[in-house]
Chain A
Amino acid sequence: MAGTLINVPPRAKKGEVIEVKILISHPMESGQRHDESGRVVPRFIINRLVCAYNGEEVFRADLFPAIAANPFLSFCTVATESGTLDFSWTDDAGKVQTASARIEVDG
């Protein structure tokens, strides 16, 4: 999907704790709203996000409708080696989307 922002430092020292941030463009329809005719607008959210660092899972989030639209998540990880952080997230329709960021680790 268009509109995914990932913030990972491009370079880090080996062993350094880095902060990872991701912002995904998504309505996160809560399933609690009603349309003009009084019908409930069906729930449609990103319910899971996983981050893998060179293939190994380092973070997982299960999300509920209480997460704001255009979900923002931040967490930390240790810069172990150069490579990629691969993000994948799943919506209520079962659709999986991915994005990744590269990091160079010195030393």
Chain B
Amino acid sequence: MLATLAGAFGAVPWLQRSAMATPATVAAAMRDIVGDAKLQPGRVKLDLPPIAENGNAVAVSVRVESPMTAADHVRSIHLFAEGNPLPNVANFQLGPRAGRAVVATRMRLATSQKVIAVAQLSDGTWWTDSAEIFVTLAACTEG
């Protein structure tokens, strides 16, 4: 109940105790993976509900437009969260044998925030998409 109330106001007590990721720490985490390459919008589709009632398990999927051939495929897909204690969510490595560049998982969201997906193609280019999500009940760190 407390968590629900606190979540509705966009903050829960533990948020003040834990260092949260910020857009700057997310940018740093992304730089660790992307390097100096240019991150272009497009080709990636991040699918996230606009509202999550329960931040403990939010379905997320990423689809990348690609023929997935030996010559032209998606090498990796990466997920980041701006408002979680840690910026990284998951890194996926795939290749032409995937056939279709789609991955899905369930993630924790500590608060309403922006989630970012990036993908690297076999030609070395990087593409990105992001989505804002409103979290009613945050993924809680209490008991």
Contacts and interface: CB of A to CB of B under 8 A. Distances in A.
Interface of A: 17-19, 30, 32-36, 53, 56, 58-69, 71-78, 80
B88 interface: yes
A35 B142 CA distance: 7
Contacts of A60: 92-94
Interface residues of B, number: 38
Nearest to A50: B93
Given A32-B14, A77-B98, A77-B99, 18 more contacts: A18-B99, A19-B102, A33-B140, A33-B143, A35-B143, A36-B143, A58-B97, A60-B94, A61-B92, A66-B88, A68-B107, A71-B106, A72-B106, A74-B61, A74-B105, A75-B102, A76-B99, A78-B98
Interface string B72-109: 00000001010011101111111101111111111111
A66 B115 CA distance: 12
28 contacts: A18-B99, A32-B14, A33-B140, A34-B17, A56-B97, A58-B94, A58-B97, A61-B91, A61-B92, A62-B90, A64-B86, A66-B88, A66-B90, A67-B89, A68-B108, A69-B56, A69-B57, A72-B105, A72-B106, A74-B61, A75-B98, A76-B100, A76-B101, A77-B97, A77-B99, A78-B97, A78-B98, A80-B97
B18 interface: yes
A61 B60 CA distance: 15
Main secondary structure of the interface of A (DSSP, over half): strand
A69 to B, nearest CB: 7
B80 to A, nearest CB: 9
